[in-house]
Structure 1
Amino acid sequence: MTGLDKMISQILEEADAAASQKEADAASRAEAILSEAEKEAEILKTEIEEKSEKELAGYESRHRLADEQKRRTALLLAKQEIISDTIEKAYQKFCSMETEAYFEVIAKMIRKFALPKEGEILFSEKDLGRMPEGFRAEIARAAKEKGGSLTVSGETRRMEGGFVLVYGGVEENCSFRALFDSRKDELQDKVNRLLFF
């Protein structure tokens, strides 16, 4: 082997050694990059899983809250319906009292609502027709106790029960419906306490 051949052979060996080293370095770097990418992918996967679990838990929680809200709303509506029905039944029972009991209630109401003025009292056509004998005198006594006077008007009002007081052109609606409506909140609270507590 000549000197040139030796030199070429040595250069080739060095080139092979350098190439092998570069290949090994590249393979090592590629393995490190791949290992780092796998670690990052595992971290990212864990973060995504945790985020998904949190989102799922949040969704389930919101879903449970929404279901609970729907249940509470339905329960509240049912309670309100029961309360309204109870009040309406009480109103109907009030309107359908026997004549004697009915006019006893009317007399008490007149004593409560009459003013110390001169006025008129108006009833429904039905109540005018079934008014007990001597009740007009009872009305006059009740008004006199309050320092005023009331005369029964021949004019009627459309109402299921109660009366309307008129003083100097100003009317005070004392019909059962007006009284029930004016105390609606109070009645609802009382019925709610009686039925649900």
Structure 2
Amino acid sequence: MSGLDEILTLIEQQQKQTEENIINAAESRAAVIKAEGDEKAKKAYEEHLRTAKAQAEKDFENSCASVDASMKRKILACKVEIIDAAIEKTISKLKSLPDKEYFELLLRLIERHVQKGKGVLSLCELDLKRVPADFEQKLHELAAKDGGIELSKEPADIEDGFILSYGLISENCSFRAMIEAEKEDIRDTAARILFR
């Protein structure tokens, strides 16, 4: 039996050697797989970190741009509000001028709007009641060379200023209408003065 024991011992040794080789090969392969996995995970982490950082920077820039644009819109709206308030105050001051100054202003404005032909000037009801005695004479002198302007006895449906008509063509020269017609230029001028 000693021969059989030797064979069994030899088989057992070979089996242990084979097991050790298989385990060593498996451990070696597992180490390679783990190293490759660690390397891929590290690269994936670094790529994700880089992408996340780039996205965070982009989001931050977009947020800053959005806040900046919103702030500029609010500042612009505030400036427009201030300018519009100044325009309303100007209209109010023009309306409340003393009669002499008010009608002198109207004559200067009429002079800028005189055309060739016979014109008709219409004032609001309040202005018709306070027309100075010499206003019609000054109006006649102002437009005599162009055909003349007659003061209508019928009130116009305006708050201030005048309506100047030549036949079928009428021009609304109330303070608000004139300002509305020139509003963008007035806003630009006011903005330059108020917000240098």
Q: Into which bin does the TM-score normalised by the smaller protein fall?
A: over 0.9
- Where structure 2 has 5 or more consecutive residues not aligned to the other structure, the ranges are none
Decide which moves more: 51-60 or 69-78.
Answer: 51-60
Q: Partner residue of 1:127?
A: 127
Unmatched tracts of structure 1, length 5 or more: none
TM-score (norm 2): 0.93
Secondary structure of the structure 2 residue equivalent to 1:115: coil
CA-based RMSD of the aligned residues comes to: 1.5
* Aligned equivalents of 1:169, 1:31: Cα separation in 2: 100
Query: For the residues of structure 2 that align with 1:68 and 1:166, how far apart are their CA atoms?
Result: 50
Instruction: Specify the SS of the correspondent of 2:152.
Output: strand
Identity of aligned pairs, percent? 29
Report the 3-state secondary structure (helix = DSSP H, G, I; strand = E; otherwise coil) of the residue aligned with 2:14. helix
In structure 1, what is the equivalent of residue 72 of structure 2?
72
After TM superposition, give the deviation of residue 92 of structure 1 in Å.
Answer: 1.4
**Alignment-derived partner of residue 189 in structure 1:** 188
More strand by share: 1
TM superposition outliers: structure 1 runs of 4+ over 3 Å:
1-5
Secondary structure class of the residue paired with 1:156: coil
- Provide the rounded CA distance (Å) in 1 between the counterparts of 2:95 and 2:138: 20
The equivalences for 1:12-161 within 5 A come to 12-145=12-145, 147-161=146-160
Count of aligned positions: 196
Shift of 1:97: 1.0
Q: Deviations over 1:110-143 (max 9, x none)?
A: 2221112012111111111111112111111111
Which secondary structure state, in structure 2, belongs to the residue aligned with residue 72 of structure 1? helix
Query: In structure 1, how many angstroms separate the alpha carbons of the residues matched to 2:59 and 2:107?
Result: 63
TM-score under structure 1 normalisation? 0.93
Matching of residues 160-175 of structure 1 within 5 Å: 160-175=159-174
C-alpha distance in structure 2 between counterparts of 1:133 and 1:3, whole Å: 153
